[in-house]
Chains A and B, each alone.
Chain A
């Protein structure tokens, strides 16, 4: 697949562009209207988020337009940046330096390289089998046994979340589906729109109607109102996009529901990690959002499940 431009993709891209324009206009109007100090802060953060969305969408569009290879490179960089943020907070120790070097400069490029050469079999087991068995050996060879189990588990989790899980998003590009050859870029876009749309919709519902926190000790911003409204509207959003996918509308609805629920689970779980490490965000790279890992926490959990469900039920 070279330039994956078709009519449906143009419609979807146009729709995303329209949403961005509307969000920018709403943000500009709110910036004039809102007077209270806390309201001003919320609007300033909202506008920073919208500006970052423009940049992220532009980057993603650029990657999709350069074909599968461009997307693989983009997600390799995303994994790399997320891994940086994760390992910076993770309590690794002196004996883990070589293992970390392997992760950053060896295992991450190999995982995405397997997508590049279209070797699905090894791609799907490379990290859970080979990396998970060999990394602790490297740390053990370094001879430091203090907190060994904690350090090993931490490193493996970072690799799992930031690399293995994220790599399932571009893996959608090499998935063989019945009657969908050459159109896989739209499946990746579908996942991205539903999972990120769900994040945004949960945020909007939560800001407007949020009263009852779901897990106040983990994330005070996640409320039942935001959860239910966000998941329901994201499911509707995904259902309305069935025409870009190989799914029937009811199948698109179920898969969107799964994507939205997994996305919520990802956000909640990574919030628990942030709480444990005593930080609010994983980083500061994306203005208004925090770090890369703050933006992709929901994608991490949604991508592998969406991939495997699609592969099991629709694979050629």
Chain B
């Protein structure tokens, strides 16, 4: 993943590590933090995908064509000296803020 970033590519990460059942966001996995620590200059853009658990619930194969909503937030970066827990919680909050009312 670091090599892909170094090649100038963008990466899409799903930091929950799985699809949820619509009951709220799962805690973020550590990969996001380790990647940010290795390349702290990379901008991390929070993206919230709304309604996906209804469009394609876990275990189903065919999506229902309901309307979804993709929201983008202001980019964040790993701050100097930030611990893994604080950073992951901050990143998670940045995504949660994007959820449509």
Chain A interface (Cβ < 8 Å from any Cβ of B): 80, 84-85, 87-88, 92, 94, 97, 100-101, 104-105, 278, 283
Contact = CB atoms under 8 A, between A and B. Distances in A.
Contacts of B67: 84-85, 88, 283
Contacts of B11: none
Interface stretch (B39-47, B58-66, B74-82, B91-99): B58-66
B22 A104 contact: no
Contacts of A94: 21-22, 57
A97 B64 contact: yes
Contact of B65 (A84, A97, A278, A283): A84
A241 B36 CA distance: 69
Given A92-B54, A94-B57, A97-B57, A87 B64 contact: yes
Given A88-B51, A94-B57, A97-B60, A104 B65 contact: yes
Nearest to B69: A88
Most chain A CB atoms below 10 A, which of B62, B64, B67 = B64
A81 B19 CA distance: 26
A94 B90 CA distance: 30
B66 A88 contact: yes
Nearest to A278: B101
A70 B94 CA distance: 48
Contacts of B54: 92, 97
Contacts of A283: 67
Contacts of A105: 62
A279 to B, nearest CB: 10
Most chain A CB atoms below 10 A, which of B57, B60, B65 = B65
B52 to A, nearest CB: 12
Nearest to B21: A94
Contacts of B66: 84, 87-88, 100
Contacts of A101: 62, 64
A84 B64 CA distance: 9
17 contacts: A80-B65, A84-B65, A84-B66, A84-B67, A85-B67, A88-B66, A88-B67, A94-B22, A94-B57, A97-B54, A97-B60, A101-B64, A104-B64, A104-B65, A105-B62, A278-B101, A283-B67
